[in-house]
Amino acid sequence: MGAFFIGRKSYLKIMFFSLPRHSHALKAKFPAQSLGNKSLWCNMLPWLFELEIVMFHHVEPYAGDPILSLNEAFGKDPRTDKINLSIGIYFDDDAKIPMLPSVRAAELKVVAEAGARPYLPMEGAANFRTAVQHLLFGAEHAALKAGRVVTIQTVGSSGGLKVGADFIKRYFPNTTILVSDPTWDNHRAVFEGSGLTVQTYPYYDAATGGLRFDAMLQALSKAEKHSVVLLHACCHNPTGVDLTDVQWQQLLPVLQERELIPFLDLAYQGYGASIAEDAFAVRLFADSGISFLVANSFSKSMSLYGERCGALTIVCPDAAQAVNVLGQLKANVRRNYSNPPMHGGQLVARVLTDPELRAMWEAEVVAMRDRIQLMRKKLFDVLSAKLPGRDVSYFLTQRGMFSYTGLSPEQCDRLKEEFGVYILRSGRMCVAGLNSRNVEATANAMAAVLA
């Protein structure tokens, strides 16, 4: 053992606190030695020191998540007129997270019928999984009938991304995952956390507030075979810039030619055009016969954020491979969290399968989408009046909860500090946090920092 020096303070700390606390471990570690033995102290002190003082010395501080940290900072801001446009949550016109009447009615039924709470299977509840498949593909899709689609219930769509990422890492260990530039802040963390190499493909055009579609196609047409391409099926997070149906059709042959593996992230179904239209890419890919993954969520579409209701679906080449793929997804779930929680998934399954509740829910989704659209229009009107030389029409063309405002990090800081308006430093604004009382103040604050 090398030389070992500790200061008087550490020594005292060890004598008074560590020694009594670790007496059992100490006896087990040094059984043959007695307190009178000098070498005991030479060996014991570094051991105790390590146990007490340096055990976690290599653990670095966590910088925090840009979205969740800003949302927390908003919560602590004492100003009463503050405006939260940071996190991707739909707030109603009273700035409240809605409890959708369809989901409330489903919950009353589910609770009234609830019995014992056994563990769910690793893959989740069968009624939830089937309902998700029907929602994504349409109940009659040939891929479902062929038995080549597998779905597991996951802990939100983030859980679906994670289980999918682990699956990719295991079966395509050297592959790269390509994400749009920019993408949701957490995508890179999830995929790198599974050991995958993450690269980007061109996506957002800062000059127009639109899509660099040609550059995107060009980059993907050069991607390595079996690269995974993360695509936002609708309501791109963070930009709100989506592919049109025609562009999805143009993308498909590139994916096929390069044998790329699409991984669709569908977290905002219903917020773009409609529940069915927002699944356009899912259905197009399934029709084409390619293999791909989809992670979808009910956090936003059913306002069930804390229930963590999501799913991972993998469309396979045939039913035999689907059996093995499902088996490996189950094994992954078992290794990680054993099986998903029950309650939220049962609310989702009930809303999706009860015709009356389903109709209610679809109307509620339309109302949420229309309200966001109204807020976009109001923001556009005030900003275009205040900044006549500036084109802010991207607020009208971008879709879903988010818009990329084009504000610099410093301008975002000013919005927060001077006006209490919280948007991400990337310039992402959650338009779904606007309401009839705060939209004008938001537009005025933006105009002030942009002037």
Footprint of ligand LMR (CB under 6 A): 67, 87-88, 184, 186, 237
Which is the catalytic residue, given 300, 330, 378, 416?
A: 300
The verdict on whether 300 is a catalytic residue reads yes
Shortest Å, Cβ 191 to ligand LMR: 15
Q: How far is Cα 387 from Cα 427, in angstroms, rounded to an integer?
A: 18
C-alpha 88: how far from its chain's center? 10
The verdict on whether 330 is a catalytic residue reads no
Shortest Å, Cβ 315 to ligand LMR: 24
Structure-derived torsion over alpha carbons of residues 391, 397, 400, 405, reported in degrees to the nearest 10? -20
Q: Which tokens hold the place of 265?
A: 């992230």
Shortest Å, Cβ 401 to ligand LMR: 8
Which of 186, 274 has the CB closer to ligand LMR?
A: 186
Shortest Å, Cβ 290 to ligand LMR: 27
Which of 87, 261 has the CB closer to ligand LMR?
A: 87
Which of 151, 237 has the CB closer to ligand LMR?
A: 237
Integer angstrom CA distances of residue 268 from 90, 235, 276, 296, 365: 11, 6, 12, 8, 10
- Helical residues (DSSP H) of 77-209, grouped into ranges: 101-113, 126-137, 142-145, 156-171, 185-193
Which of 67, 347 has the CB closer to ligand LMR?
A: 67
The verdict on whether 166 is a catalytic residue reads no
Q: The tokens 């099926």 sit on which residue?
A: 233
H-helix or E-strand spanning residue 422: strand 421-422
DSSP category for residue 277: G
**Residue whose C-beta lies closest to ligand LMR:** 88
Which is the catalytic residue, given 169, 184, 278, 330?
A: 184
Name 447's Cβ contacts closer than 8 Å, sequence gap at least 6. Answer: 382, 383, 386, 387
CA nearest 257: which of 218, 213, 284, 287?
A: 218
Shortest Å, Cβ 280 to ligand LMR: 21
Active site residues: 184, 265, 300
